[in-house]
Chain A
Amino acid sequence: MRKLSLDNLNKFFAAVAESKTIYLPVDQKDGSAKYAKWAEGTEWSNALNTVRSPKDLFFPQTEDLMEFKTEGKNIEIIDIRKESEDFVIFGVRACDVKSFEVLDRVFLSEPVDSFYASRREHAIIVALACTRPSETCFCTTFGIDATEPAGDVSAWKTDSALYLKANTEKGEAFLKSIEALTEDADTAEVDAQKTKTAEIMKKLPLADLTTDAFGGGKTEELWNNPVWDEMSQTCLGCGTCTFVCPTCQCYDIKDFNTGNGVIRYRCWDSCMYSEFTRMAHGNNRLSQKERFRQRFMHKLVYYPENNEGLFSCVGCGRCLAKCPISMNIVKVMKKIGGDK
């Protein structure tokens, strides 16, 4: 394990930034945090997490896929892809690191999504252990250890230092590149922090939430549950939950005529939107109940069915904080699974 004095934090960012772009959580004017590029003077946020998840950095809200030039009846397709450059995402929480695995299984399965893959391959993830989880946190429900985040490098921040441990070859190379700023350290301080945080995790209000009622093969059992009617009745049908969710990855592909050619771009889409499944001759999900059910069934049943039991929720709590009507996956899980 290596140790970086917090006094050297800016030197560390500056050293890394010489060769790579670093994204890290920074505070916004309204008090919330977001991932932004580090530049001299950028302050690393103390916030537990960002409003938007770091999925943006692999799967941005909009991205151009290709361009077309048309002339008369002819079409030219222009491949505008560029291989990503190496970059660092710093300060990713354990839940969000896990979300990358959920996304990987979609985008990196055959046929591989080259847009996502290029960024993913060039990213170095420096994950940060939590010390002050929020009441809305429930990552433990999904087997995530917030004190021991995955990623290329795991980091622990104490009052005076940042402890760093490499988990992958990429991570080792990264630590090597900043070796001069760090020193060898034992794990005592980190172990103490982990023990303390683990105690807090046990006491979180949602610590008892379980996935027992969910998983692959439960479609028939859960499909006609009256809960869908009841809980969706005031759903506004907005896309907030899906857009702040680190694992939601549905997208749309659209064309934009610039007047000087056509850009085909991809943008986030939401299964909560009434138009999501609309075809020229009909829509197979006509009510908000059906759309609401789709979102939760996908996360808790369909996705695990296709992915060896891995749930498509990481317990980050963003939807708990942001849903305009305070409806969320925890309420659904408790209602269906029964409150302990």
Chain B
Amino acid sequence: MQKITRDQLITKAVELLSNGTVSAVLGWKKGEFDYDITPAVFTTEEEINNGFVYNDFCGANFSKYLVAKTKKLEGKILVFLKPCDSYSFNQLLTEHRFDREKVYAVGIGCEGMADVVKLKNKVDGIVSIDYNDDGMYVDTLYDGTVKVDYAEVMAERCINCKSKKCVAYDELLGEDGEVIDSARFDEVASLEAMTPDERFAFWQGELSRCIRCNACRDACPACTCEKCVFDNPGSGVENKAPVTSFEEQMFHIIRAFHVAGRCTDCGECSRVCPQNIPLHLLNRKFIKDMNECYGEYQAGAEVGSRAPLVDYTEGDLEPGEVFERGENDA
């Protein structure tokens, strides 16, 4: 459950709107069932009071929206950044994707967000969700009110949270946290420990479910190309279903390569996947490899940092060593 409350955020949003600091607020809008929350742009106090919510289902990362929204708006837009969102925010600034002057960023602490899929796998027929001092209570269609242990429905990306520290903001609500020495690479390590055939089978099993809806790409804060190769009719691979399963796998692998060094590991790709494919593991593999080959690097930790893949140092791994590493893996 979040320590930051809806009321705190509303107060802040209304204050910044009414004193003219911002002309719009990027926030979360309530849905039908307390868990189906939609990112929305609010421009009036009334809209905010009527629709703004904040709870454990506000996982969406707003940073990418700033690319489009700052282009359209007169004045500044207020954005609330959870720690992991703030890394994406910095990374987008590093890539000059939006004008920092057009944004007022409020950092907010985060206790980890819930995973709706996990919740739905536990509880059937969710009518509404309430909180008591001791946790989450779900009103259901069939089983009355069910108490849910928050730890059991926390998103994987939050269980393996890499940082509770907001790395970008104009103002911080609540207390800042620390970078965490998380276990996020454990699952990658277990994939690495597989034989190539096992690993191939694992990914084939996962990626074969892909329906090529492009949600992973469209939600990804690192995917901000003006024209994605997969949208370009001339590329021959425009956003369409593939001819072969090989091609399907290539879509994800190409995307993982393209965001390598820029992916902050925010986990949006896996959150939005309608088929629950653990896409973040592909990106984490890259992050882990880069950490091992070039030293620890966290994309988005600060603005303007040079990612290992675009930064030459004399200590860089020689191509031959990389090749050998691959040989040993196989």
Size band of the interface chain B makes with A:
35 or more
Chain B positions near chain A (C-beta within 8 angstroms): 31-33, 36-41, 60, 65, 117, 120-121, 124-127, 141-142, 205, 209, 211-215, 217-219, 231, 233, 238-243, 271-272, 274-276
A198 to B37, CA, bound (A): 29
- Are B231 and A273 in touch, CB under 8 angstroms? yes
A134 to B215, Cβ gap below 8 A?
no
Are the CB atoms of A233 and B127 closer together than 8 Å? no
Q: Are A243 and B40 in contact (CB under 8 A)?
A: no
Cα–Cα, bound, A329→B37 (Å): 14
Q: Is the CB of A204 within 8 A of B41?
A: no
A62 to B275, CA, bound (A): 18
Distance, CA A256 to CA B39, complexed state (A): 38
Among the listed A134, A233, A256, A320, which residue makes an inter-chain contact with B36, where contact means beta carbons less than 8 Å apart?
A320
Question: What's the Cα separation between A32 and B117 when bound, in Å?
Answer: 9
CB<8 Å pairs between A and B, sample of 28: A28-B209, A30-B117, A31-B117, A31-B121, A61-B212, A132-B124, A135-B33, A135-B141, A205-B32, A205-B127, A236-B219, A238-B214, A238-B218, A239-B213, A239-B215, A240-B213, A240-B274, A244-B274, A265-B243, A267-B241, A268-B241, A273-B214, A273-B231, A273-B239, A322-B274, A324-B218, A324-B272, A326-B36
Expressed in whole angstroms, the minimum distance between the Cβ of A339 and any Cβ of chain B is: 10
Known: A234-B41, A240-B215, A274-B231. A62 touches B125 (CB 8 A): no
Q: Decide: B240 and A267 in contact? CB cutoff 8 A.
A: yes
Pairwise interchain contact A134-B124, C-beta atoms closer than 8 A: yes
Question: Cα distance A242–B213 when bound, in Å?
Answer: 8
Residues of A186-237 whose CB lies within 8 A of B: 200, 203-206, 230, 233-234, 236-237
Query: Are A324 and B214 closer than 8 Å at their CB atoms?
Result: no
**Are the C-beta atoms of B117 and A331 separated by less than 8 Å?**
no
- Pick the residue among A52, A236, A275 that contacts B215 (CB under 8 A): A236
- Which one of A32, A252, A270, A327 contacts B38 once the chains associate, using CB atoms below 8 Å? A327
> Considering the chains assembled together, what is the distance between the CA atoms of A134 and B32 in angstroms?
13
A326 and B218 within 8 A (CB)? no
CB <8 Å contact, B141 and A51: no
B266, chain A: closest CB distance, angstroms: 13
* Chain A residue total in the interface (Cβ 8 A): 54
Across chains A and B, which 8 residue pairs bring their CB atoms closest together, nearest first?
A324-B272, A267-B241, A326-B36, A236-B218, A30-B276, A238-B215, A322-B274, A234-B39
Residues of the A chain whose Cβ atoms lie less than 8 Å from the Cβ of B39 = 234, 325
Tell me how far the C-beta of B113 lies from the nearest C-beta in chain A, rounded to whole angstroms: 13
B-chain residues with CB within 8 Å of residue A256 when the two chains form the complex: 243
Give Cα A331–Cα B141 distance, bound, in whole angstroms: 21
**Which of chain B's residues have a CB closer than 8 A to the CB of A320?**
32, 36
**Cα–Cα, bound, A234→B166 (Å):** 24
Q: Is the CB of B33 within 8 A of A205?
A: yes
- Would A254 and B240 be within 8 Å (CB), given that A135-B125, A234-B40 are in contact? yes
- Secondary structure of the A contact surface, majority rule: loop
Write the A261-281 contact mask toward B (1 if CB under 8 angstroms, else 0). 001010111100111001000
User: Which residues of B have CB within 8 Å of A268?
Assistant: 241
Q: Look across to chain A and name the residue whose beta carbon is closest to the beta carbon of B122.
A: A31
Indicate if the CB atoms of B243 and A29 lie closer than 8 Å. no
Contact between chains at B41 and A51 (CB < 8 Å): no
Distance, CA A237 to CA B38, complexed state (A):
14
Q: CB of A181 within 8 A of chain B?
A: no
Contacts of A28 in B (CB 8 A): 209
Query: Do B211 and A234 touch (CB < 8 A)?
Result: no
Contact A237 B141 (CB under 8 A): no
Q: Which residue of A lies closest to B37 (CB)?
A: A326
Contact B276 A32 (CB under 8 A): yes
**Inter-subunit contact B213/A204 (CB<8 Å):** no
Q: How far is the CB of A57 from chain B (nearest CB, A)?
A: 15
Given contacts A275-B233, A331-B32, contact A51 B274 (CB under 8 A): yes
| Complex Cα–Cα for A269 and B36 (A) | 26
Sample of 14 further A-B pairs with CB below 8 A, known A61-B241, A239-B213: A31-B117, A31-B121, A51-B275, A135-B33, A205-B32, A240-B213, A240-B215, A252-B240, A267-B240, A270-B239, A324-B218, A324-B271, A324-B272, A328-B36
Select B242's contact among A62, A132, A238, A252, beta carbons within 8 Å. A62
B243 and A263 contacting across the interface, CB-CB below 8 Å: yes
* A106 at interface by CB-CB < 8 Å: no
> How near does chain A come to B294, taking the closest CB pair, in angstroms?
32
Chain A 305-340 interface mask (CB, 8 Å, partner B; 1/0)? 000000000000000111011111011000000000
Q: Give A268's nearest chain B residue, CB to CB.
A: B241
Most B Cβ at <10 Å: residue of A29, A30, A268, A278: A30
